[in-house]
Structure 1
Amino acid sequence: MDATYVLSLLLFTFVATITPGPNNIMLTASGANFGFRRTVPHLLGIAFGFSFMAIVVALGLGVVFEMWPMLYTLLKIVGSAYLLFLAWKIYRAGRVQLQRNEDLAKDAKPLSFWQAAAFQWVNPKAWTMVLTALAAFSLPPPLHIWSSAAVIVAYFVVSFPACSFWALLGQEVVKLLRSDRARLWFNGTLASLTVASVALIFI
């Protein structure tokens, strides 16, 4: 593995993790509603969950999808249902702010470390990114193990700063929204984008 390989891998993982998708839409909403600091467990959960999933795929889980394509279809359905639930939570977080309801506010909280990590397993974009990266950057023996490890480490290292951009964006954008109505509109837009990402899964 030379410098060109490493740079190509880092560039691929950076582009894959910083481009819009379910994770980054949710992070923007979390940054807007809860601030960057409270979103950090969500960020770490993504990095851990994604890297752990890459380990499992590198050990052979990807072959299972090739043998039984219906499992991947089932994964899309489950992931889509969960994304719709998260879209509702994003919109509801905006309603909580508008209504100033203390009881509802207590229920509104960012995703935890383990919730974010578990979400990667039903996130179709995450599966596509992992399968594509391992297919493109895994080298034949005797470098197979080391190259697979490089992919896993690259995602773990790159995903946190790349995804942090979206959480910080949400935190800063919401400061520009001077009214509760504008913030509700912002949350509604993010919720709509989350729903739209569900449609893109099946295209």
Structure 2
Amino acid sequence: MEFSLFVALCTFAFISTVTPGPNNMMLLASGAQYGYVKTLPHMVGIVIGVAGLMVSTLLGVGALFSIFPVLYTILKVLGVAYLLWLAFKIATSPVTDSVYEDIEAKTEDKADATKGPFKWWEGALFQLINPKAWMMALASVGTFTVPGEYYVQSGVAIVLAFALIGFPSISVWAAAGAKMRLWLSSPTRRRHFNLTMGAATAATLLLIV
């Protein structure tokens, strides 16, 4: 891969992963609610999931969307439905007298599987129905792969670029959320934040649909 093409790839990877989208809105909310460290598995899962989409696209799975366009339509419908559900859950998250009490309660209540931050495998599986992640995979493979003997090399470069650039890019959102935890100790602020994050998560659909 030529240096100029690699620079373009890195730029695309940065812009694609640092800009608002479903993953970053969820990380912002998770960072605010659970802190940066507890959100790390979610971030790792996103990187693994996106890498999986890249590899599958490189192996030809992405071509199925061209042959059977209805598959991409189904994917988008599932993604939209799940994102709207997530937006609702974020907006209606319970508000307590202290954000730390809420976190502790969520940690101790093992019976409720809907509570607590995303596990790594949940973050990874979410990418399967994340339209933005698929668009990143299809666009990067279609634009930055080099045909012929350098196809594998360019494919590896794409996967590594998105992993190495993507992780710190999405980390910014989780860190920003974590910085807001003290400010969110007020129940009123917490309620407004939850509503805003729910609306922002739903609004990301305008960027990907």
TM-score, with length taken from structure 1? 0.92
Equivalent in the alignment of 1:166: 173
Query: What residue ranges of structure 1 are gaps of 5+ in the alignment?
Result: none
Q: 1:140 to 1:172 in 2, by over 3 A?
A: same
* RMSD (CA atoms): 1.9
Q: Secondary structure at the match of 2:147?
A: coil
Equivalent-residue separation in structure 1 for 2:128 and 2:183 (angstroms): 35
Q: 1:132 to 1:101 in 2, by over 3 A?
A: closer
Equivalent-residue separation in structure 2 for 1:103 and 1:32 (angstroms): 14
Equivalent in the alignment of 1:31: 31
Equivalent in the alignment of 1:147: 154
Equivalent-residue separation in structure 2 for 1:174 and 1:36 (angstroms): 10
Equivalent-residue separation in structure 2 for 1:116 and 1:145 (angstroms): 27
Equivalent-residue separation in structure 1 for 2:164 and 2:158 (angstroms): 10
**Which structure has the highest helix share of the two?**
1
Equivalent-residue separation in structure 1 for 2:69 and 2:159 (angstroms): 24
Matches within 5 A, 1:26-175: 26-93=26-93, 95-97=94-96, 105=106, 106=109, 107=112, 108-175=115-182
Equivalent-residue separation in structure 1 for 2:200 and 2:131 (angstroms): 16
Letter in 2 for 1:66: S
Equivalent-residue separation in structure 1 for 2:103 and 2:41 (angstroms): 23
Q: CA deviation at 1:114?
A: 0.4
TM-score, with length taken from structure 2? 0.89
Q: Deviations over 1:76-106 (max 9, x none)?
A: 000111111211221233x243596799733
Query: What residue ranges of structure 2 are gaps of 5+ in the alignment?
Result: none
Q: Secondary structure at the match of 2:118?
A: coil
Q: Percent identity?
A: 39
Give the total of aligned pairs: 201
* Alpha-carbon contact 2:141-2:155 (below 8 Å) kept: yes
Letter in 2 for 1:17: T
* Alpha-carbon contact 2:9-2:161 (below 8 Å) kept: yes
Q: CA deviation at 1:148?
A: 1.1
Equivalent-residue separation in structure 1 for 2:103 and 2:158 (angstroms): 44
